[in-house]
Amino acid sequence: RAQCEVPANIAHLEMTYLDVSLNNVDWTDDNVPYFYYKPPRLSDVQPREGPTRGGTHVIVYGSEFKFDKKILCVFGNKKTRGRFISFSEVECLSPAVPLPGIVPLSTTYEGEGDKFKSEAVDYLYYETPVLDSI
């Protein structure tokens, strides 16, 4: 088992091959493919707000969403499973939160940590209305 740090993709490659050396002279010839991909870029969300009880279906608009990755939506520090709609749309279900307020909404991929976390857009939680009488 080895752990390697991936170099920055300054050549804008989509794929390269991974070989390993213990002495920087003799290299493996396995040619294991390694795929570079960009984190998603968010441009908008609809709706931009929902109640603190959660359960709002939110469509996240952007680019670079990957259909073969398990997408997570991150509302503040709470993660929910995202549903891939297209390379430019993901559906999220807002989680419940204890207090109203603005939280950053971003996306990432399961198991990738913050490595492929998108930039955030604001999402407003408002107090869940309570109907006392009509």
What's the pLDDT tens digit per position in 73-88? 999 999 999 999 998 9
User: Which tokens hold the place of 132?
Assistant: 């006392």
User: Which tokens hold the place of 61?
Assistant: 């608009």
Q: Is the pLDDT confidence value at 126 over 80?
A: yes
Range name among 7-16, 20-29, 124-133 with the lowest pLDDT average: 7-16
Q: Is the pLDDT confidence value at 51 over 90?
A: yes
Between 19 and 88, name the one with better pLDDT: 88
Q: Is the pLDDT confidence value at 37 over 70?
A: no
First to last CA, the chain: 66
Of 95-99, 105-109, 111-115, 127-131, highest mean pLDDT: 95-99
pTM score, whole prediction = 0.70
What is the average per-residue pLDDT within 28-44? 80
pLDDT of residue 12: 66
What is the average per-residue pLDDT within 8-30? 79
Given CA atoms 63, 42, 34, 10 in this order, what sign does their dihedral have? positive
Q: How does DSSP classify residue 127?
A: P
What is the average per-residue pLDDT within 24-51? 85
What is the C-alpha to C-alpha distance for residues 75 and 77, in angstroms, rounded to an integer?
A: 6
What is the C-alpha to C-alpha distance for residues 127 and 87, in angstroms, rounded to an integer?
A: 33
Provide φ and ψ at 34, rounded to 5°: -125, 125
Contacts of 77-82 with C-beta under 8 Å, sequence gap 24+, read: 79/108, 82/107
Q: Is the pLDDT confidence value at 114 over 90?
A: no
